[in-house]
Amino acid sequence: MSKSYGIGNALIDIIAAPSKALDEVRDRVSWLWVPLIIVMLLAIVSQVFFTLWVDHDWFVDQTIAAMMAGGGDPDMEPGIRQWMQPRTMLITAVVGVLFIIPLIHLIQAIYLHLVNKIVGNPDLRFGQWFALSVWSAFPMIFQSLASFGIMALATDRRITQEELQPLSLQSLVIRAEPGSSWAAWGGAIDVISFWIIGLLALGIMRWTGASALKAILIAAAPYVLIFGIWALVIS
C-alpha cells in the first residue's frame, strides 16, 4: 500500500490499471464512499435530465403501448398515466437509485464475505468485500455517460428508455419486441456487467490468491443464477 497513492489515482486506475487500484483500495475501505456517490449521482442526474428532457406525453403513450403489447391489462392504463407524472417519476428515480444501488452492493458483499469464509482469505473483513463490490461497479458511470450521449445526439425528444441503453444485450443482440419479457431480460444486462464481473474476479484473485477460474466462477455465479432462472421462467 503506497502512502503517496490517492483516491484520485484509484478512480483512474480502476478503469486503466485495475490490478493496481484493487491492491491499493483493499485496506482503504473508507474510500468506497467516493465511487459510490459518483455512480449514484450520475445515475440520478441522468434519470432526472431524461425525465425533464423527453417529450413526456409521447413517452407515456409509448410506455403504455409497449406494456399492452406485452400482455398488460388495459384497465391499468389510467393508473399508469397517473403514476407517470413527471414529479412522481422524478421522486421514484431518485429514491430508487439511493435505495437499490447500496442494497445490491450489500447483498453482493454478504455473498462474497460468506464465500470467502469457506474458500478464501479469513483475514478479509466484510467492509473490504463491500468496498470491492463498490469499486468493481465504478464502470457503471459509462452507462450514465452513454445516456447523456444519446440525448445529446438525438434529433428530437422522442426516445424510449431502451434507446438510452445502447450497451445492453437488448440493443446489441436480442432486439426483442419492446415491452416483451425478453426485452426486459436483455435490457437488464449489458457489456458493463461483464466488465464488472471481470473486476470482481480480479479482486478475488488478488485478495485471496484464488485461481482465475475459481475467481470467475465466484464472481459470475450470482449473475448466471439470476439471469438463468429468469430466462427459464420466460421460456
In angstroms, the Cα distances linking 42 to 14, 15, 22, 48, 123 are 17, 17, 22, 10, 34
Q: Copy the grid coordinates of residue 180.
A: 416483451
32-57 confidence digits (pLDDT tens): 999 999 999 999 999 999 999 999 88
Q: What is the SS3 assignment for 1?
A: coil
CB 169 within 8 A of CB 45: no
pLDDT confidence of residue 94: 92
137-187 confidence digits (pLDDT tens): 999 999 999 999 999 998 889 888 888 888 888 888 888 877 778 888 888
53-104 confidence digits (pLDDT tens): 999 889 888 888 877 766 666 777 777 788 788 888 899 989 999 999 999 9
- Kindly report the pTM of this predicted structure: 0.91
pLDDT greater than 80 at residue 19: yes
pLDDT confidence of residue 71: 66
State phi, psi for 190 to the nearest 5 degrees.
-140, -175
pLDDT confidence of residue 72: 64
CB 206 within 8 A of CB 212: no
59 or 197: which leads in pLDDT = 197
How confident is the model over 197-223, as a mean pLDDT? 95
